[in-house]
Chain A
Amino acid sequence: MSSLHPCRAPSAVLPLAPPPEELLAWLVCGDPLALRARVAQRVTQEAWLVDVERALLRAQTLVALHAREWPAGALEARLEACIEQALRQLALEDDACGAEEPLEPFCRPLGLDAGAVGEACRRFNSLPGEVREAFVAAVLLGEAPERSARMRRLSLVEFARRARLGLELFRAGVRARGAGT
């Protein structure tokens, strides 16, 4: 932490090979590579149920860690790859500490256990993309099933099957809690 102050961004688009700590400080402060928008877009498009801030920090960390090894050019593709890697890592890490923290504000007022919801979200994120996407469209966005199925060139039965697959995962958690109480 020497030459680059966390809030003093260098003029270059991507600093040339500074240590990961310095690069991360630069990325975290002010988001010069617009990673947050990219992460939010991917999260929405690919129907991940993750805390965007957490995914953003992971993506920034991966960029900081690997940027020194990147050859010149192809920055966009490298950034996208880091975001993808970040999302996959978060989906697979079964000991991701602090995963329930961002869920607290949403869960507590509704009387839900943020830890259990976080665990269910993690399992949801390891489902295939098309299942996640159908669940988000049908359940979270409440899209009309016929229209959604048509747009995806799926039969209504198949669309419903996918959406239900995602829902069943959360439902299993609800049932387990019901059995426990």
Chain B
Amino acid sequence: MNADPLEWLVPDALPPERAELRRLVQALRLLHADGARPGARSVEPSWQRARGELEEVARREALRALETLLVAHLAALLPGDSFLPLPAAPLALDEAWRILLARQLFVPPRPGEALASGARALVARGLALGAPAEWARVWRTTLEHAERGLEPRRWEREVTRARAQRTRPRALARLVAGWAASELERGAPARALAVLQAHAPLARLEPALLGLGDGCVTLLGRPAPVGRAAWTPLPRGLHELAQADARFAAAFAGTPSSSALRPAAGCDARRAFGAELVALLEHDGGGRARLVQLEGAAPALESALAHVRAPGQPLLRVWRHGTQAPLAAALGGARTRALAGLELGRSASGAARWLQLEWSHALLPCGARLLEFARAFVPGARPSTRRSARAASGDPRLPLLTRLVRRLRAQGIVGVAFFEPGVPARALLAQGPGLRLGRLAREGEPAARALGLATHELTCGARALLRVHARAAPAQLSAALAPAGMEFLCAQFRALERARGRGDPWLLPAHLAPAAAAGFRGPFWIKGPPGAGRDTLARALLHAAGHAPDEPGRCAAAPALRAQDGGWAWCAGPDERAPAGVLELSLVALAERRAELAALLLHLARAQVPALALTDEALAELWRRDWEGFAVLAEVFAALAAGGPRVALEDVRRVLAARGLRAPARRCPAGADLEQALAATRHRNGQENRARAARWLGVSVGRLRASGK
């Protein structure tokens, strides 16, 4: 045993302090030793105590579930340019629904009415469950702000009242964050910073306060007064890094140091990289880019980078999540997430610091494409700002954001996210940027992929910058950042269906769009061939209109129900005509929805437990077919899942043969299919591989050439 650890750990402690520390350590030793005796029992079992604990834990769990739903509602309600930070959802959305439904604590809200009324009902339910009044007040104020943007004075009143009533620090911190955000939204970073400085100790409890403070300091272009909270003009973490890590500081200052910045060995598994990310940073950096070199890049890419890189520019290395099945990634929207993960030392708390830079990029870093992409981000282009519905033309936030963009651009920062201390960086990297996307959509869905940039834990400044980029970025990012009402509706319906044990239904916002345009006012006549998803759509419409999907007599095959009897949704054949006064919705056969099929296949693979990992060949075999309907496809996937999570081409062929499904006729593939297949083949070295694409598509290379490829 070591003589006295205090001697070498805290040599600066004065004798009285050391004496008290010794006594404290002694108490902790006893506590630790007490816990280490597995057979000992210091407390007799008490049923009364146990029952009290059960009630309390169940209550807390229900409150967490309500909070999860509240975050989802508010995230959908908040305008895109609001600075108001929302807390992280404590649970996954379907887990929250499962808890609430199983204990009959809450009926599904009526998304057809309004998100705000659903949120109010959630708060009311929380109060009924015994949540403290301060809990309800924080959520109600947040909701009001999301609805109509509260004045700073209103937040100030709430903070004053909370202090007077000795509100718990966490609740107080959220009110202070709201106050500062409100000031920022009105273009007053100095006032926002003053608010934050007055409540600096709360930043320990609420990381959002740090992010807001950093944004303020960046906007003001000056550091905070010495001795107060350590707001930094760079996004938090980056600043710490520059201070603490000489290697990074060198690169940050523009000294070439590529070899010094080689990441730890653990990064080797994350091979490959996002070329567009590099180009983006290169060009946005305004000549001081620091992300240039790609480990093991394709020759074409290397030469492209050499072309865009100025002599003497510093190098960092960028990795991309390796994707085992490039075809799957391509079919999932022809986008994969570029991720640069660099271990750059340890934070004060001992957690590894990782620099993560991410970008959703088209697969295939071929040189021409890279340069084409890069041109879209040439510095000097005037930044434009995405406006919310309530932002008028004279909104003071617009010049504020423009200023912020200029400042950050001058520093070459586009989007920098730092992992939270205490969370294993490796686990976060393994899960990727979709980690925090549980609010609205699950990882892997197109919206989730694109939303990563905007919803990941970015600092306030970087977040604002990304909003600005949303206008200039590829169309899918802009679309994903659009008001998320329909996404929310779909995500909520699917979460509920999963919670009810009905599997994971296939539903896209586009399926609901015609009904949404009619305000979800039924009755509806849903016509289409069998297997086109009419039942799912009918259930989703019932949900959207606030009816229970299982409500008897609401939904049936035409003409079993009559509107006067309460019938609301009819599922009819493709040629059956809707009666007068009933809105007709059409679903085309699955075979005609080629663009949707790819995403559907990946969705079905993910929905299995455990999720299926299909080889490219196996996926291609399923993808190139024209499927009759969802039911057949679901059966095939269920049969595949029975054979284990890894699915090879032979498995698919065996299952198809067992169902009498013969190989599809060789035909000229559609243009989009061709593009996707060829794009996926470029994964390995940046070059297209026609032979492989032809094999995936089930055609000859000659036929591929004949189609102009």
Pairing of A with B? yes
Contact yes or no, A167 B9, CB < 8 A: yes
Contact yes or no, A174 B42, CB < 8 A: no
Closest chain A CB from B200 CB (angstroms): 16
Interface residues of A in 32-69 (CB under 8 A from B): 36-37, 40-41, 43-44, 48-53, 57-58, 60-62, 64-65, 69
Contact A164 to B27, CB < 8 A, known contacts A24-B54, A29-B45, A57-B53: no
Contact A43 to B61, CB < 8 A, known contacts A110-B27, A145-B8: no
CA distance A138 to B61 in the complex (A): 36
Contact yes or no, A65 B58, CB < 8 A: yes
Contact A21 to B170, CB < 8 A, known contacts A161-B350, A164-B10: no
Interface residues of B in 178-196 (CB under 8 A from A): none
Does chain A have a CB within 8 A of B225? no
Contact yes or no, B21 A24, CB < 8 A: no
Contact yes or no, A60 B50, CB < 8 A: yes
Interface membership of chain A positions 95-108, coded 1 if the CB is closer than 8 angstroms to chain B and 0 otherwise? 10000001100110
Interface residues of A in 117-132 (CB under 8 A from B): 117, 121, 126-128, 130-131
Contact yes or no, A49 B28, CB < 8 A: yes
Q: Is the interface of A mostly helix, strand, loop or mixed?
A: helix
Does chain A have a CB within 8 A of B23? yes
Contact A6 to B47, CB < 8 A, known contacts A65-B61, A164-B10, A167-B10: yes
Of the listed residues B13, B24, B49, the one surrounded by the most CB atoms of chain A closer than 10 A to its CB is B24
Contact yes or no, B35 A103, CB < 8 A: no
Contacts of A61 in B (CB 8 A): 50, 53-54, 57
Closest chain A CB from B22 CB (angstroms): 9
Contacts of A24 in B (CB 8 A): 50-51, 54
Contacts of B29 in A (CB 8 A): 140
Contact A25 to B47, CB < 8 A, known contacts A165-B348, A174-B20: yes
Contacts of B2 in A (CB 8 A): 138, 142-145
CA distance A82 to B3 in the complex (A): 38
Closest chain A CB from B61 CB (angstroms): 7
Does chain A have a CB within 8 A of B250? no
Question: How many A-B contacts are there with CB distance less than 8 Å?
Answer: 164
Does chain A have a CB within 8 A of B565? no
CA distance A127 to B422 in the complex (A): 6
Size bracket, chain A contacts: 35 or more
Nearest residue (CB) in A for B13 is A171
Interface membership of chain A positions 163-175, coded 1 if the CB is closer than 8 angstroms to chain B and 0 otherwise? 1110110110011
Contact yes or no, B57 A165, CB < 8 A: no
Contact yes or no, B16 A25, CB < 8 A: no
Contacts of A141 in B (CB 8 A): 1, 32
Contact yes or no, A127 B349, CB < 8 A: yes
Contact yes or no, A164 B24, CB < 8 A: no
Q: Pick from B21, B38, B50, B169: contact of A171, CB below 8 A.
A: B21
Contact A130 to B47, CB < 8 A, known contacts A49-B28, A58-B53, A143-B1: no
Contacts of A14 in B (CB 8 A): none
CA distance A175 to B20 in the complex (A): 10
Contact yes or no, A162 B5, CB < 8 A: no
Contact yes or no, B349 A128, CB < 8 A: yes
Contact yes or no, A162 B350, CB < 8 A: yes
Q: Is the interface of B mostly helix, strand, loop or mixed?
A: helix
CA distance A143 to B39 in the complex (A): 24
Q: Pick from B9, B43, B102: contact of A160, CB below 8 A.
A: B9
Q: Pick from A20, A103, A130, A163: contact of B27, CB below 8 A.
A: A103
Contact yes or no, B35 A57, CB < 8 A: no
Does chain A have a CB within 8 A of B323? no
Contact yes or no, B170 A139, CB < 8 A: no
Of the listed residues B32, B36, B169, the one surrounded by the most CB atoms of chain A closer than 10 A to its CB is B32
Of the listed residues B26, B50, B346, the one surrounded by the most CB atoms of chain A closer than 10 A to its CB is B50
CA distance A107 to B20 in the complex (A): 12
Closest chain A CB from B38 CB (angstroms): 4
Contact yes or no, A49 B32, CB < 8 A: yes
Nearest residue (CB) in B for A138 is B5
Nearest residue (CB) in A for B57 is A61
Nearest residue (CB) in B for A68 is B102
CA distance A170 to B25 in the complex (A): 9
Contacts of B102 in A (CB 8 A): 69
Contact yes or no, B54 A65, CB < 8 A: yes
Does chain A have a CB within 8 A of B351? yes
Contacts of A177 in B (CB 8 A): 20
Contacts of A144 in B (CB 8 A): 1-2
Interface membership of chain A positions 1-30, coded 1 if the CB is closer than 8 angstroms to chain B and 0 otherwise? 000001000000000000011001100110
Closest chain A CB from B101 CB (angstroms): 12
Does chain A have a CB within 8 A of B34? yes
Q: Using a CB–CB distance below 8 Å, which chain A residues touch chain B? A: 6, 20-21, 24-25, 28-29, 36-37, 40-41, 43-44, 48-53, 57-58, 60-62, 64-65, 69, 89, 94-95, 102-103, 106-107, 110-112, 117, 121, 126-128, 130-131, 136, 138-145, 158, 160-165, 167-168, 170-171, 174-175, 177-178
13 pairs across A/B with beta carbons < 8 Å?
A24-B50, A40-B38, A44-B36, A51-B34, A57-B50, A61-B54, A69-B102, A112-B23, A141-B32, A162-B350, A165-B349, A167-B5, A167-B21
* Top 3 closest pairs, chain A to chain B, by CB: A52-B35, A37-B38, A40-B38
